[in-house]
Amino acid sequence: MALHNKKEKNFSEWYTELVSEAGAHLADIRYGIQGAVVETPWAVKIIRAFEEMIEKEVEADGHEPMLLPTIVPEAYIKKEKEHVSGFAPELYWVTEGGGKKLEEKFYLRPTGESQIFPMYSLWIRSWKDLPFKRYQSRITVFRFETTTRPFLRGREFNFFETHNVFANHEDAFEQIKHDMAYCENVIHKKLGMPFIFVRRPQWDKFAGAVDTYGAETIVDGKVNTVASTHDFGQKFARAYEIMYMDKNEKKQLGWQTTLGPGLIRIMAGLIGIHGDDYGLVLPFDIAPLQIVIIPILFEKKTADVEKKCRQLEKTLKAKCFRVKYDGSENSAGWKFNEWEMKGVPIRIEVGPKEVKEKKLTLVRRDTKRKEVISEKDLDKKICEYADELLKNIKQKAETELKNSIHDAKTFAELAKTIETKRGMVRVPWCSIGLDGQKCAEKLQEETSTKVRGVLFGKNEKAKGKCIMCGKPAKHIVYVAKSY
Amino acid sequence: MALHNKKEKNFSEWYTELVSEAGAHLADIRYGIQGAVVETPWAVKIIRAFEEMIEKEVEADGHEPMLLPTIVPEAYIKKEKEHVSGFAPELYWVTEGGGKKLEEKFYLRPTGESQIFPMYSLWIRSWKDLPFKRYQSRITVFRFETTTRPFLRGREFNFFETHNVFANHEDAFEQIKHDMAYCENVIHKKLGMPFIFVRRPQWDKFAGAVDTYGAETIVDGKVNTVASTHDFGQKFARAYEIMYMDKNEKKQLGWQTTLGPGLIRIMAGLIGIHGDDYGLVLPFDIAPLQIVIIPILFEKKTADVEKKCRQLEKTLKAKCFRVKYDGSENSAGWKFNEWEMKGVPIRIEVGPKEVKEKKLTLVRRDTKRKEVISEKDLDKKICEYADELLKNIKQKAETELKNSIHDAKTFAELAKTIETKRGMVRVPWCSIGLDGQKCAEKLQEETSTKVRGVLFGKNEKAKGKCIMCGKPAKHIVYVAKSY
């Protein structure tokens, strides 16, 4: 049984079905608050797995974990003007506690800056404290969003953030490149999801940042940003008085950066990019179950098969694989569907024939191809399958991303491309400074697309004129619809 | 430099100093909300380490992780009468969002029951779904408390809870014994903190429970409850309609239990039970740093020493020890104090003599005893030290707990014992049913102690009369002051 909705035909319904109890049951939206979903065991395990990969990356590069409260005093948000104007409209306020009105109300953190930086102001004192690199993970944040969708936009959602302070802008900017490398290592290399990093236009930065860089994947023709890293310059440091004594005993403002891998967006990417009409397709390393063993039973001779299955499960468990023998009463066909839906990378089928011939039938989730192997080759095959599965879905995703990036020289071309091909369109643009904002607003009004930014790290040469105002183009910008 | 305050003389100030920036800097209370502390890297790493141990225990016994929102719709709390009357006074309410008053206000979860059980009502359908065992961890909960103290009582604090549904009370009660075994395995065996499990009197149960069992440790003469497990009977199942179809296709109410290891209370125990006048003392397995290498430098011949330190660090890292070479500019003495304060189990000192003779000086944190060993014995010694350290602090804590339990036959004896010896006092008691509540209230009024309950699993025979009302005693109860 494939999903009722087909990915190619009606992606949106396919996504909803796959996320729901009728599909892989990742999020339950029947909880009584819009945009606040319940994450099921399967989803929690997947998110934990890649969250831990990111934790390892940032820790290996000198970040230490910290944990701040969910609630923040009102006074904290007011310090950085741009930040407050960006986030205040989305805040939730706690106004009552212990049966009465609170003397000072507090808000639920929408992101960590305003709660973390007052502490940094206390903790950072000397040039010896720098670079100062911390992160908090396994937390949630809260934003009053009007439209919500599981793993794409929530009113409460999983969050991860690093917050760093450096002595100068060079070091800070170097960190931003490291941030991009963590994303490359985890999101691309381990999860098989390619992206491009763009530098956002000045009118679309994180509230309070000097520059924002976004990692853009394409899901069903629209941009799904899976991570952002921000250059804060000294703006927050000035507002929150994050200062250090330099070697000459002079007080200096710190230079700050922050990385926010979008945990739920990465999850949405895994679903939307790798999933197919039979359900999830998960890389071996993050699959909550990596191998499922299913008995193929005929007539009454089942004892040998069941024994073999149990023995296999035990052997593979001892080798630290996440493996399950599904000995339930359901039919083999039902089990195939169930574990395909959940995205288990490898299925081992064991029937009387396999037992007799000391063979096993293996099925890889992505290709659904069957192969009969000698039992003694199992370990080698598992490793091969794990590698090949990732390689295959990664290549497929890379090709898709490549095919989703188009070029247009005029507004008419852009409009047509967005209409027919979707994805991202590279167009000549007047400016990504604030003087280009009017063109962007007009573009958005007419096409519902946004200027995502310029490609990071490559100075893509602009030719011709801005597709909106006709002034000489300074940049090639990437334009797309987004989630 | 030892701590300014001494553990034996003024425990309370010692605890506060050790937790603060002046000590091991575990929690920062300078965050602008009373009872909402910032957990520093050192604290986060310790809590994570034992939280993962508990996760492993419950997962190995069939629990699956889930994650629910922090916010809960108002309607959810109202379903179970005793639960709402117990928790409603402590709730925090979110009443505003997106710049306006919310149509339905919601509360911050004080504990999971009221948010989880509406989902269980949807998820559990058949006897095949049972036993149904889930947990959520790495979350925080919120309670409006009047007095607060880091890791002892907070308005927002770390939380872990399992929630199980069974087909009958026998299975549910069996789970409670499993819960106690997880606590024994982690809190006692791995963290070295002994406790006794008591069955609470009926007037002091978790709000909505049929029975509550608490794991009591003693910290500075007062009870610090490090875990609770609750028998919910069918009370919540009835209120939240958690029902399953039995094998005869009849609808039945589930039987429920829940385990709540007190993460912050375990942390408080680690600080208060194992700590000494030089700072924290941490079991090897949960120490964020297990080994610190400190160079002892004389005159100018430092290159060999530094090289040896770096090489040692590399070798030990490769063996997966959490190790750090402290090559900072501070003096050796300063470093000794710093890492003793943080509770690093093993210090390796390397000086020119050690380099020359291929020896190392080892110092164990708990005993502070020095030993010069052959470099080739290092691995063996590390394992020995790790084991012996745990064994030593565990035995010490066991002796302390044993010495903290006293007997009294009369109210006068009890009052004197609490005054002079503190700890827990075993006394004859009329009843732990509701008819014993008046005696308990009078006891609390006169001595500030509470009846903690009767020892679980051993039917301790009562002789004589209730120390309060003089009626024939049915039980031996444990009486103590508590945090």
**B43-62: per-residue pLDDT in tens?**
999 999 999 999 999 999 99
Distance from CA of B445 to the nearest CA of A (A): 24
Q: Cβ contacts (< 8 Å) between A97 and chain B: which residues?
A: 91-93, 144, 155
Per-residue confidence band for B301, with pLDDT thresholds at 50, 70 and 90: low
Q: Tell me which chain A residue has its CA closest to the CA of residue B133.
A: A41
User: Is A15 within the bounds of a domain?
Assistant: no
- Over residues A359-382, the pLDDT tens digits come to 999 999 999 999 999 999 999 999
Q: What is the pLDDT of residue A11?
A: 98
Interface subset of B 122-161, CB within 8 angstroms of A = 122, 134, 138, 140, 142, 144, 146, 155-156, 158
Same domain, A309 and A379: yes
Which is it for strands A291-295 and A323-325: parallel, antiparallel or unpaired? Answer: parallel
C-alpha pair distances (Å), A53 with each of A189, A262, A337, A395, B287? 11, 13, 29, 21, 21
Owner of token pair 């976004």? A214
Q: Cβ contacts (< 8 Å) between A30 and chain B: which residues?
A: 119, 122
Distance from CA of B422 to the nearest CA of A (A): 32
Contacts of residue B189, defined as CB under 8 A and 6 or more positions apart, other chains included, come to none
Find the helix or strand (DSSP H, E) in which B276 lies. Answer: none
User: Is A16 within the bounds of a domain?
Assistant: no
Closest CA to B24 of B295, B270, B354: B270
Q: What is the pLDDT of residue A301?
A: 66
CB of B298 within 8 Å of a chain A CB? The answer is no
Same domain, B305 and B226: no
Do residues A68 and B31 lie in contact, with contact meaning Cβ atoms separated by under 8 Å? yes
CA dist., res. B201 & res. B198, Å (int): 9
Same domain, A290 and A359: yes
CATH of the domain at B296: 3.40.50.800
- Over residues A282-325, the pLDDT tens digits come to 999 999 999 999 999 877 668 899 999 999 999 999 999 999 99
User: Is B425 within the bounds of a domain?
Assistant: yes
Per mean pLDDT, which range of A78-82, A183-187, A228-232 is the poorest? A78-82
Find the helix or strand (DSSP H, E) in which B81 lies. Answer: helix B81-87
Q: What is the pLDDT of residue A296?
A: 94
Per mean pLDDT, which range of A457-461, B88-92, B191-195 is the poorest? A457-461
Interval B22-29 mean pLDDT: 96
CB of A39 within 8 Å of a chain B CB? The answer is yes
Q: Which of the listed residues B326, B357, B385 is the one where a domain comes to its end? A: B385
Per-residue confidence band for B80, with pLDDT thresholds at 50, 70 and 90: confident
Interchain CB distance below 8 Å, B67 and A39: yes
- Over residues A1-29, the pLDDT tens digits come to 799 999 999 999 999 999 999 999 999 99
Tell me which residue in B33, B41, B158 faces A65 most closely, judged by beta carbons. Answer: B41
Tell me which residue in A31, A66, A98 faces B39 most closely, judged by beta carbons. Answer: A66
Best mutation target, B33, B51, B135, to test chain A (most A CBs within 10 A): B33
Best mutation target, A55, A96, A121, to test chain B (most B CBs within 10 A): A96
Same domain, A177 and A241: yes
Same domain, A298 and A410: no
User: Is B205 within the bounds of a domain?
Assistant: yes
Tokens representing B240?
């939240």
Q: Tell me which chain A residue has its CA closest to the CA of residue B96.
A: A93
Same domain, B207 and B135: yes
Interchain CB distance below 8 Å, A65 and B45: yes
Interval A390-418 mean pLDDT: 98
Q: Cβ contacts (< 8 Å) between B27 and chain A: which residues?
A: none
Same domain, A384 and A421: no
CATH of the domain at A263: 3.30.930.10
Same domain, A266 and A187: yes
Domain that holds residue B123: 11-274
The proportion of chain A whose per-residue pLDDT surpasses 90, expressed as a percent, equals 96
- Over residues A195-245, the pLDDT tens digits come to 999 999 999 999 999 999 999 999 999 999 999 999 999 999 999 999 999
User: Is B439 within the bounds of a domain?
Assistant: yes
Q: What is the DSSP string of A285-313?
A: GG-SSSEEEEE---TT--HHHHHHHHHHH
Interchain CB distance below 8 Å, A119 and B38: yes
Interval B100-124 mean pLDDT: 97
Interval A252-266 mean pLDDT: 98
Tell me the average pLDDT of chain A: 97
Q: Is-above-0.90 flag for pTM?
A: yes
Per-residue confidence band for B302, with pLDDT thresholds at 50, 70 and 90: confident
Q: What ipTM score was computed for the predicted complex, to two decimals?
A: 0.96
Q: Which of the listed residues B212, B243, B274 is the one where a domain comes to its end? A: B274
- Over residues A90-99, the pLDDT tens digits come to 999 999 999 9
CB of B163 within 8 Å of a chain A CB? The answer is no
Q: What is the pLDDT of residue B50?
A: 98
Interchain CB distance below 8 Å, A33 and B73: yes
- Over residues B354-380, the pLDDT tens digits come to 999 999 999 999 999 999 999 999 999
Per-residue confidence band for B398, with pLDDT thresholds at 50, 70 and 90: very high
Tokens representing A37?
């979903």
Q: Cβ contacts (< 8 Å) between B69 and chain A: which residues?
A: 31, 33, 36-38, 140, 156
- Res B319 pLDDT > 80: yes
User: Is B394 within the bounds of a domain?
Assistant: no
Per-residue confidence band for B83, with pLDDT thresholds at 50, 70 and 90: confident
Per-residue confidence band for A62, with pLDDT thresholds at 50, 70 and 90: very high
Same domain, A334 and A449: no
Interval B66-89 mean pLDDT: 93
Same domain, B308 and B192: no
Q: What is the pLDDT of residue A81?
A: 86
CB of A90 within 8 Å of a chain B CB? The answer is yes
Q: What is the pLDDT of residue B300?
A: 67
Q: Tell me which chain A residue has its CA closest to the CA of residue B108.
A: A94
Q: Which of the listed residues A213, A243, A274 is the one where a domain comes to its end? A: A274
CB of B38 within 8 Å of a chain A CB? The answer is yes
Best mutation target, B29, B56, B77, B96, to test chain A (most A CBs within 10 A): B96
Same domain, A369 and A411: no
Q: Cβ contacts (< 8 Å) between B76 and chain A: which residues?
A: 32
- Over residues A133-177, the pLDDT tens digits come to 999 999 999 999 999 999 999 999 999 999 999 999 999 999 999
Q: What does the CA dihedral B166, B167, B169, B170 come to, rounded to 10 degrees?
A: -90
Cβ pairs bridging A and B (under 8 Å):
150
User: Is B281 within the bounds of a domain?
Assistant: no
User: Is B285 within the bounds of a domain?
Assistant: no
Owner of token pair 């390619």? A194
- Res B391 pLDDT > 70: yes
Interchain CB distance below 8 Å, A33 and B93: no
Tell me the average pLDDT of chain B: 97
CATH of the domain at B425: 3.30.110.30
CB of B67 within 8 Å of a chain A CB? The answer is yes
Number of domains into which chain A is organized = 3
CB of B385 within 8 Å of a chain A CB? The answer is no
Contacts of residue A65, defined as CB under 8 A and 6 or more positions apart, other chains included, come to A55, A59, A134, A135, A136, A137, B41, B44, B45, B48
Q: What is the pLDDT of residue B305?
A: 94
Distance from CA of A97 to the nearest CA of B (A): 4
Q: Cβ contacts (< 8 Å) between A73 and chain B: which residues?
A: 32-33
Same domain, A346 and A455: no
